[in-house]
Amino acid sequence: MWCPPWQPINCCGGQPQPGIVNPGRGTPVSVPDLPVPMAQIKVHVPNGATVYANGQLMRQTGPVRTFETPEIAHGRDHHYTLKVEAVVNGEARVASRRVTVRAGWASNVDFRSMANDKATSAVTVNLPAAAKLLVEGKEAAAAVVTSGFNTPELPVGQEVTYTFQTETPRDGRTEVETRRVTFKAGDPVLIDFSRKATDSVVTLK
């Protein structure tokens, strides 16, 4: 039987696995009976919510959705972006979160604060080779192809602006590219520094 890349735990003959995971933070916790090549994500959502994993619609229903990933490399972290859409008090709400998963481990992610008009945004940044990433002037990553983080919880739909910079070695000097990115709290954000943008400011130092 064919199974989608993200599957509910009872898909294709799988059975729910026991284990207590860290509530709400998305930090992986070991689950002894989970098949080692896979990771598990348990998502707590408001009633009637719609859940997407890396853009793919998850068709489970109910207040808790549990999924297993396809096989992933053992011994290192992998990242997925979850987006949840829900109607709260008659108004559409969106929240997103970047989740760390590990083979043989489970991550518990809690979106129920959407019912209180709070949401996080998952921010993913693609970087040039050997680049250093700074967010609001603070170093966030170095020498990686993709980095990311979750914003603090903010009022749903509130506009927020972050300043992102990359520092990349160029012929003995350092190229600094700066972008100011505005988005609404809850929306997932993808910033691609692997190509120049028209609103980028580039300097050499």
Q: How confident is the model at residue 31 (pLDDT cuts 50, 70, 90)?
A: low
Q: How confident is the model at residue 105 (pLDDT cuts 50, 70, 90)?
A: confident
Q: What are phi and psi of 182, to 5 degrees?
A: -110, 135
As a whole number, mean pLDDT of residues 150-174 equals 92
- pLDDT at residue 8, as a whole number: 36
Is the pLDDT score of 48 beyond 90? yes
Q: How confident is the model at residue 16 (pLDDT cuts 50, 70, 90)?
A: very low
* β-pair type (105-110, 40-44): parallel
As beta bridge partners, residue 107 has 41
Q: Model-level pTM? A: 0.72
Q: Which residue has tokens 């002037």? A: 137
- pLDDT at residue 19, as a whole number: 29
* β-pair type (146-150, 189-192): unpaired
Q: Give me 46's structure tokens.
A: 């408001």
Residues near 193 by beta carbon (within 8 Å), at least 6 away in sequence: 125, 126, 127, 128, 131, 133, 164, 166, 177, 179
Q: What are phi and psi of 8, to 5 degrees?
A: -60, 155
Could you give the percent of the chain with pLDDT greater than 90?
A: 48
- pLDDT at residue 196, as a whole number: 86
Domains of the chain: 7-116 (2.60.40), 122-204 (no CATH)
Question: How big, in percent rounded to 5, are the helix, strand and coil portions of the chain?
Answer: 5, 50, 45
Q: What is the DSSP letter of 25?
A: B
As beta bridge partners, residue 14 has none
Terminal alpha carbon distance of the chain? 57
What is the Cα 146 distance to its own chain's centre? 12
Residue 106 near residue 29 (C-beta atoms within 8 A) = yes
Could you give the percent of the chain with pLDDT greater than 70?
A: 82
Is the pLDDT score of 11 beyond 50? no
**Residues in the chain, how many?**
205
Q: What are phi and psi of 109, to 5 degrees?
A: -125, 130
